[in-house]
Chains A and B, each alone.
Chain A
Amino acid sequence: MWNYSDKVKDHFLHPRNARVIEDANGVGDVGSIICGDALRLMLKIDPKTDVIKDAAFQTYGCGSAIASSSALTEMIKGKSIKEAQKITNQDIVDYLGGLPPEKMHCSVMGREALDAAIANYHGQSYESSHDDGELICHCFGVGINKIKKAIWENHLTTVEEVTNYTKAGGGCGSCRMRIEEIIDEVWEDLEKCGVPRPGTVPTPIEAKVVTSAAASAAQIKSSIDQKTEQSPIYNDVKKLLEEINSGLKEDGSGVELDAIEGTDIIVRLSGPAAKGMMKTMTLDFITKKLTDGTGRQVKVSAR
């Protein structure tokens, strides 16, 4: 059973303003019986002041759909159109003391009904005043603009959340990849507005201060640990690598010792020899040279 707040239960069991306003001058119909929930919002708006004198609803749907509708009518009564339009779906959720995540779309439907009713009052249809944009979810008929709006206003980060808020992706699931892309697109914009994306840490740029060539050489030298220096083949390997290095320098490549552990030798390659096929060939060459020179079968890898 869904864990509804007391406020949701109260609004479901005792819905406010569940009736028909016969002379309503703003009527919004959203949802459909096929989708499993539908809401008709009826407004009586004073044409002189644009104040919502009365609001009522009829809803086909689950407990939270009925509770969201009831809450919406209570919230907008007495407000001017301008004030009412500032209400977000999250305001409806807050008014109800929260909704289960899977039921967030009920609050979005309430918000849409308000838009539709106000459009109707202005003599427009909801469809003509709202561009749904590219159709993303064919199962529930959800356009890209609705998805983007839900992500933007509620800072959604996962496809699951988008489904909970808009139903998009809740059917066959073939649009889930596309929804993921849309989430990324919206978050790029949100981040530009200074909203940190949850779960992502900005890539730290390492502070690297190199004062002189000598200092950097010392730094590299000190990075060779004691274990490496105590290796019985340390001196041989060092000498052999210097020889190889002089040959590599011709095309601007280089090799440096990083560590020795038993017969495992780790080197650092630079220049063209550090890339792609050349890297494999260079490592093979170094392995052969070091194996011959130290008399041990060594394994060379690049850091």
Chain B
Amino acid sequence: MDVYNLGAGSGIYLDNNATTQIDPKVIEAMMPYFTTYYGNASSQHGFGLPVDKAIAKAREQVADFLGAEHPDEIIFTSCASESDNTALWSSLWSQKGKDEIVTTSVEHPAIMQTCAFLEAHGVKVHYVGVNDKGDLDVNEFKSLLNSKTALASVMWANNETGDIYPVPELAEFAREHGVMFHTDAVQAVAKVPIDLKKTAVNMLSFSGHKIHAPKGIGVLYVRRGTRFVPFMKGGHQERGRRAGTENVPYIVGLGVACELAKAHLDEVNTRIRALRDRLQDGILKTIPECFVTGDPANRTANTLNVAFKFVEGEAILLLLNEHGIAASSGSACSSESLEPSHVMRAMGVPFSAAHGTIRFSLSRFTTDADIDETLKVLPGIISRLRELSPYWKQNKPQIKNLDHDFDENSTEVRA
């Protein structure tokens, strides 16, 4: 096994919140639209017709998966980031006079950075905080909505901790106060049962590649009656709400992926949840000085985020990779930034632990053997790195006799 060249069939993939393996059934369904049915859905001839029908079928599959009342509420986009951008911009463009946005401090960069840009251009953005478990301050959220609020945008589940937010409740409250509501549901779909017609959600974003469809296809659900201005202009596609020739093979693939996700939802919440819990219990039992971040009682069934104190995340990932095991880290060194992830900081996780957070995210392709192997090698990796650490001596933290002050629970930025 070449651990620097891993793919399907090799290695142990526990990074499904980053992206997922494409289901072979999805690829099978896509193939005819690469080869035989290459027509343009907009064409008025026999080449366009089967393609148009295929898109209509996929739209129904997606609508059924989300519990949308009407298939025409589904807009196909290129990715969830595009959907998020569209939701934010559309809410501002379509409601003149409203120039405030309410969101949270733990959103995906697609929301965070777009909000930062809008802020620099005069939009007032409120960020609702979270507690140390990552749970949202619902009262703060409610207190921030007012007649100037163009959009309330709250993710349905967090990508790093898996924490689930009470989106139906928040959306209902927003509707009662006349505020448009959007949710980034990338990490919730295929893990949490979603029935949009029973909620007050106006807009919802998700992407195909997190649910075993390929990268490059996303969805924006827009409830009928929601004011909407297209983000991408220049064509009548998607009923004039998203220009650009339809990405037919990927749309077909996404439709099938949604159908499969619906069929496997129970499995994720039973078999995969049990695997995740076994991984968690095994880690906590065999490795000292570590803890689970997020809210263990209220998170997606496939996600486990553990903070290993006194070791650095990137080093853990590199050593895991030597065994062909893939996970991800909220540590500074494994990201573009030099600071630990904004989610860990928003939760107030001490820096000494935030640098050592590892996220394991499972999928329906994860096996018992994958978890066994991970539990076999992980304790050795952590103790090996702790042996190297100046903060560790003989199986316990050693933080005395250092040149500098050291408060292991400090969350402050060094200054």
Contact = CB atoms under 8 A, between A and B. Distances in A.
A163 interface: yes
Contact of A33 (B334, B336, B339, B351): B351
Contacts of A95: none
Contacts of A35: 414
Which of the four size classes fits the interface of chain B? 35 or more
B137 interface: no
Given A13-B322, A126-B403, A141-B415, A62 B410 contact: no
Interface string A28-69: 010011111111100000000000000000111111011000
Contact of B314 (A62, A138, A141): A62
Given A102-B336, A163-B338, 17 more contacts: A13-B322, A29-B402, A32-B414, A33-B351, A33-B355, A35-B414, A36-B312, A36-B351, A39-B390, A58-B388, A59-B389, A59-B390, A60-B391, A62-B318, A126-B403, A139-B339, A139-B415
B372 interface: no
13 contacts: A13-B322, A18-B388, A29-B403, A33-B310, A34-B351, A36-B312, A58-B389, A61-B333, A62-B314, A62-B334, A138-B413, A139-B415, A171-B339
A205 interface: no
B384 to A, nearest CB: 10
Interface string A120-133: 00000110000000
A18 B331 CA distance: 23
Interface string B389-415: 111000000000011101010101111
A62 B315 contact: yes
B391 A33 contact: yes
Nearest to A168: B338
A18 B389 CA distance: 9
Given A59-B388, A126-B403, A34 B414 contact: yes
Classify chain A's interface size. Answer: 35 or more
A78 interface: no
B307 interface: no
A10 B338 CA distance: 24
By secondary structure, the B interface counts as: loop
Interface in A109-160: 125-126, 138-141
B322 A60 contact: no
Contacts of A63: 314-315, 318
Interface of A: 1-2, 12-13, 15, 18, 29, 32-40, 58-63, 65-66, 102-103, 125-126, 138-141, 163, 167, 170-171
Interface of B: 310-315, 318-319, 321-322, 331-334, 336-340, 351-352, 355, 387-391, 402-404, 406, 408, 410, 412-415
A32 B312 contact: no
A167 B312 contact: no
A179 to B, nearest CB: 14
B331 A62 contact: yes
User: Which of A34, A35, A39, A63 has most B Cβ within 10 Å?
Assistant: A34
A29 B404 contact: yes
Contacts of A61: 312, 315, 333
A37 B334 CA distance: 13
Contact of A18 (B351, B387, B408, B412): B387
Q: Which of A12, A37, A60, A66 has the most CB of B within 10 A?
A: A60
